[in-house]
Structures are given as structure tokens and as C-alpha cells.
Amino acid sequence: MDGKTLTIDDPKIAFEPLAADHFILLHKWIQEPHVWQWWGEGKSWTLDEITAKYNSYTLRYKIDRGIKKAIHPFIINFQGQPIGFIQFYNAFDFPRDDGFDVQEIWDRKNESLAALDFYIGEPAYIGKGLGSQVLRFFLQTQVFKQYDACLVDPEKNNKIALKTYSKAGFSTVKDLPSIIIMVARKIEQRKPIVIFGSSRSDGDTLQAIKAVIKDLSVPIIDLKNLNIAHYDYNYENKHDDFMAIAEKMVQHNPIILATPVYWYTMSALMKTFIDRWSDLLDTRKDIGRRLSHKELFVIACYETSLPRGFEDAFSQTCDYLDMQYKGCLYFYSGEDPELAKDNESSAKQFSDRIFYSKENLE
Ligand SMILES: Cc1cc2nc3c(=O)[nH]c(=O)nc-3n(C[C@H](O)[C@H](O)[C@H](O)COP(=O)(O)O)c2cc1C
């Protein structure tokens, strides 16, 4: 089984706790015009001043009005290269100079609120849409491990920051004269799994899957590499690979079925797999029961035309098993550029529905 499960599990983004030998990078970046404009405080910084400011940060605190407050600063690495700086802290720990009181927008006694600041310092990495990816990954892997929500306060005329934060899931909660206060909320951790049923393991359907899951860590079960027999009324096939996949599948939610369109419907590999769900209503009811309420998404790769009624089998199977059918992404693999042009944006929207809750997108 193990060798047959492919995991895209290699995020290119990593966060390295700030250390003294990073000061030289911070000094270099603050001199970049696109950083200095927002972080420079109107002066030119020496390395000694950077060292004085960030020394205590390497010990994870900052002195504010004589009191030690916790702070969590990191260097952002992308494909092994340091490209920027990011930090988070308790939003209530640092009273603001502009008189805005965080309490005004956060009276939820039981929910904690962090704040974060960040910049991409390396000019070669700006304007590539990396910022929102970095933020999403940082919220998931750092901030939301300790806090329920996170605040940012971009300046109103920093249009790039506003766009980046909103792409990362932040929504405006207060519009002040010169800044906007935005908040992103922690969301239920999703644990998707892809069941992949194409007659070729490296074909168009795999490209569609990759467009949806990008570099997020999601197991992909390739049915082509497995031995899954047709449904058998006498369960003579009970020792093939099906039950191991079923056991794995019930540990995940949502379930994503990815199939090419072959003769107006799902592939035979996928159909054989779904036929075997009948085993879960009989010999392994314990597993079948655990499918109930799970979300099911479908990725369908097609070349000629959208097949009529393609989704009926999936949505009715969900009705029967008390699962929630969440829709299908039709990914075009043909040569018409007009039809291909929406693939990436549709895959991105579909991905947001799989990985992020609705509340966080609105
Ligand atoms: C046996 C077979 C039947 C197909 N039937 C259809 C079809 O009914 N409608 C369609 O749009 N494309 C059809 N196609 C094209 C495939 O859906 C398309 O090439 C798809 O991208 C293949 O994905 P794959 O590389 O994962 O196999 C068919 C391809 C094959 C091999």
C-alpha cells in the first residue's frame, strides 16, 4: 500500500525563527524602497540600530513601556532562500500609537486574537502572488496553533498589501482614516484525500488534481496501481486492496474523486471502485457508517464536451449514503485556448471550497 500512495507534501515555504545572524538580511531589506516605504519610519537604518531593535526578538520578547511582551519573529524561506520577514504577537499586548483600541472590534472574551506584520524583502520575489501563499501557510502552521483569529492593519494607500491580505482570507472589520483593520479567523482543519482513477497515472487528470491542491499536503490514491476487483456478490474478492483504501478514506474529509471523462461518464476504474462501496453496506458496515456526513467533491477532466448528467451518479450516491455532494470541477484538457483559459481560476475557486471554510472567504 505505502509505495502506492503519492503525497504532494513538500511545501516550498518554511519559517525559520529569527536569529542574530539574520540581522544583516533585515538591514539589507529595510533599505529596499518597497520595504522602507512602510517599515523605514522615515529614517536610514544602520546595522547597529537593526541589532538594537531586534536583539530581544531573537529571545522571543519585546519590551513595551517597560514590560516584556512575547513576540514570534521568523525569516520566510522560499525554496530554501530567505526572502522576507514575518512576526506575530498578541493583538492586545501593544497599545497603538494611533489611538485605535483593539477592544473596539474584539469583545469576544473567549476568543484570542493575534496580530501579524510581514514583508517580502527580496525584490525578485515581489509581485508574484507569493505573499498570500506565505500568509495562508503562516496562519495555518504558526498563528492558528495558538490563536483563534488574527488581525492586520495595512495602510489604506498600500493597495498591494490590502489585496494580498484579502487573498489570504482577511476581511475588513474597521475602516479608519489612514488604515484598514482586517481579521482572518481560524478554520476547522480540513483533511482531504484524493482518489484518482485514470488509465494513465501521469496524464491530464493528474494535472487537474495538481491545479487544485497545489503544494498542499494531500494523499493521492492512484487506483491504477491497485488491485481492486469488480463487485462480487459472494465477497470472494475481500482480500484485494479495496478495504485498505476504504479504511484510509474514512479517516479523511472531504473526499475528492478525480476521474477523466471516458464515454460521457466516469472512468471504469472509478466506477469499479464506487461499486465496491456496496461492501461497506454489508460486510463492513462499521466503515460504511463513517462515510455519512462526509463531503464529496469531484474533479472531472474532459476534452470534447461537457457530458450531460455526469454528476448524477455522484450526487445520488451521496444522497443514498447520507454524504454531502459539493460539486464538480470540469477541467478542460483539449487544445481550444478559449476553453482552457478558465482552468486555473476555476481550480483555484474549487480549491478554496475544499480547503477553506466559507466564513473565511466572505
Ligand atoms: C476511452 C476514452 C473515452 C473518452 N471519452 C470522452 C468523452 O466522452 N468526452 C470527452 O470530453 N472526452 C473524452 N475523452 C477524452 C478524455 O476525457 C481527455 O483526454 C482527458 O483529458 C484524459 O485524461 P487522462 O489523461 O487522465 O486519461 C475520452 C478519452 C478516452 C481515452
- 195 CA → ligand 1 middle, Å: 18
Q: How far apart are the first and last CA of the chain?
A: 40
Q: What is the pLDDT of residue 6?
A: 37
pTM for the complete prediction? 0.57
Atom of ligand 1 nearest to the CA of 302: 17
Strand partners, 194: 220, 256
Strand 324-332 with 295-302, pairing? parallel
Number of neighbouring beta carbons within 10 Å of residue 318: 18
- The answer to whether the beta carbons of residues 18 and 60 sit under 8 Å apart is no
pLDDT-derived band at 189, boundaries 50, 70, 90: low
Query: pLDDT confidence of 75, banded at 50, 70, 90?
Result: very high
Cell numbers at 65, concatenated: 513601556
Closest CA relative to residue 143, chosen from 206, 175, 191, 186: 186
- What is the C-alpha to C-alpha distance for residues 155 and 234, in angstroms, rounded to an integer? 68
Please identify, by atom number, the ligand 1 atom nearest to the C-alpha of residue 261: 17
Find all residues with CB under 8 Å of 123, minimum gap 6, and list them: 32, 34
CB atoms within 10 A of CB 297: 23
- Other C-beta atoms lying within 10 Å of the C-beta of residue 344: 11
pLDDT of residue 360: 37
> How does residue 143 score in pLDDT terms, banded at 50, 70 and 90?
very high
DSSP string across 263-293? TTB--HHHHHHHHGGGGGGTTTHHHHHTTTT
Read off the pLDDT of residues 315-340 as tens digits, 9 standing for 90 and up: 999 999 989 999 999 999 999 999 99
Q: How far is the CA of 100 from the centre of ligand 1 (A)?
A: 58
From 199, 204, 220, 261, give the residue whose CB has the most ligand 1 atoms within 8 Å, as the site to mutate.
261
Neighbours of 188 (CB within 10 A): 10
Q: Which atom of ligand 1 is nearest to the CA of 307?
A: 9
CA of 318 to the centre of ligand 1 (A): 24
Q: What secondary structure does DSSP assign to 74-123, as a single string?
A: EEEEETTEEEEEEEEEETTSS--TT---GGGT---TTS-EEEEEEEE--G
More confident residue, 285 or 20: 20
The whole-number average pLDDT for the span 244-262 is 95
**Reduced DSSP (H G I as helix, E B as strand, rest coil) percent helix, strand, coil of the chain, to 5:** 40, 25, 35
Average predicted confidence (pLDDT) for the chain: 91
245 confidence band (pLDDT: 50, 70, 90): very high
Task: Give the ranges where the chain is alpha helix by DSSP (H).
Answer: 23-30, 33-39, 47-54, 130-138, 144-146, 159-167, 204-213, 242-249, 268-275, 285-289, 312-321, 337-340, 343-355, 358-361
CB 231 within 8 A of CB 278: yes
Rounded to an integer, what distance in angstroms lies between the CA atom of residue 121 and that of residue 218? 30
Give the pLDDT confidence score for residue 9 in this predicted structure: 36
Using pLDDT thresholds of 50, 70 and 90, give the confidence band for residue 188: low
Highest mean pLDDT pick, 21-30, 129-138, 142-151, 160-169: 21-30
Ligand 1 centre from 303 Cα, in Å? 6
pLDDT, greater one: 2 or 37: 37
Residue with the smallest CA separation from ligand 1 atom 15 is: 303
Q: Which domains does the chain show, CATH number per domain?
A: 10-185 (3.40.630.30), 189-361 (3.40.50.360)
Percent of the chain exceeding pLDDT 90 equals 75
d(CA 85, CA 260): 42
pLDDT value at 67 more than 80: yes
* pLDDT above 50 (res 226): yes
Quote the cell numbers at residue 4. 502506492
Instruction: State how beta strands 113-120 and 149-152 pair.
Output: parallel
- d(CA 110, CA 356) in angstroms, rounded, equals 23
Determine the Cα–Cα distance for residues 342 and 42; give it in Å rounded to an integer.
44
State the average pLDDT over residues 105-128: 90
Least confident of 9-13, 225-229, 279-283, 342-346: 9-13
Distance 10 CA to ligand 1 centre (A): 30
CA 258 to ligand 1 center in whole angstroms: 13
Q: Residue 206 CA: which ligand 1 atom is closest?
A: 26
Residues with CB under 6 A from ligand 1: 198-200, 203-205, 260-264, 301-305, 307, 333
Pocket test for ligand 1, best of 209, 212, 266, 302 (most atoms within 8 A of CB): 302
Average pLDDT rounded to a whole number, residues 341-358? 86
Question: What are the backbone angles phi and psi of residue 139, rounded to the nearest 5°?
Answer: -60, -50
- Closest C-alpha residue for ligand 1 atom 30: 262
Q: Please provide residue 218's backbone torsions phi and psi, each rounded to the nearest 5 degrees.
A: -140, 125
- pLDDT over 90 (residue 161): yes
